[in-house]
Amino acid sequence: MAGEWNYTSGKWNGDPNDKGIQTSEDYRFYAISAEFPEFSNKGKTLVFQFSVKHEQKLDCGGGYMKLLSGNIDQKSFGGDTQYSIMFGPDICGYSTKKVHAILNYNGKNHLIKKDVPCETDQLTHVYTFILRPDATYSILIDNEEKQSGSLYKDWDLLPPKRIRDPKAKKPEDWDDKE
């Protein structure tokens, strides 16, 4: 069942006029979307950034955002809706305390292969995912770089490289009909 959203500055804040959206009920799934003009980042740097504040200790929950493609029906938006990027903190039990950085390429979701620990306290943290036109990236938390590298090395976006062996031949008893 979907939970309800509040527009609030939270339990504690530095400025009561500095507000954001907040989940209002525990143990619920939440999804919200907003439409904005279509854009292309071809040849440009894309910066995907937002802030998260978990005011209570989490047993299991995520604070990630998804960047959707332009052909999504917002009326049917939910957890299974296809996305281009999913990014943000995920906490579950003692073992999962990481930043998700998932890229959708050719219809398949690819998780980052490196560990990126997330913040687990009850303060506000700014999460930033920078994707550059030279196929490099940076992940920052509170403007401090936590991970960076190559999209091609740190995600399995491309099939593994294969070196042809000119001496390799099909066995004579190979059955092409099977």
Residues linked to residue 137 through DSSP beta bridges, in sequence order: 131, 149
Mean pLDDT of 85-108: 91
Q: pTM of the entire structure?
A: 0.84
124, two tokens: 């506000």
Report the run of H or E that residue 151 belongs to, with start and end. Answer: helix 151-154
Assess whether pLDDT exceeds 90 at residue 71: no
Highest mean pLDDT among 67-76, 96-105, 128-137, 155-164: 128-137
Return the H-helix or E-strand segment holding 20.
strand 20-23
CATH annotation of 50-68+81-165? 2.60.120.200
Average of pLDDT values for 96-101?
92
Banded pLDDT at 178 (limits 50, 70, 90): low
Is 69 within 8 Å of 82 (Cβ atoms)? yes
Longest pairwise C-alpha distance within the chain:
78
Whole-number pLDDT of residue 69 = 82
More confident residue, 94 or 113: 113
Q: Can you tell me the mean pLDDT for 147-153? A: 96
User: Would you list the domain boundaries of the chain?
Assistant: 1-30, 50-68+81-165
| Mean pLDDT confidence for 113-123 | 91
Q: Give pLDDT tens digits for 7-66.
A: 999 888 889 999 999 888 877 788 888 888 888 899 999 999 999 988 887 778 888 899
pLDDT at 101: 97
State the CB neighbour count (10 A cutoff) for residue 100.
21
Residue 1: pLDDT band (50, 70, 90) is very low
pLDDT over 70 for what percent of the chain?
98
CB 45 within 8 Å of CB 138:
no
Q: For position 159, what pLDDT does the model report?
A: 79
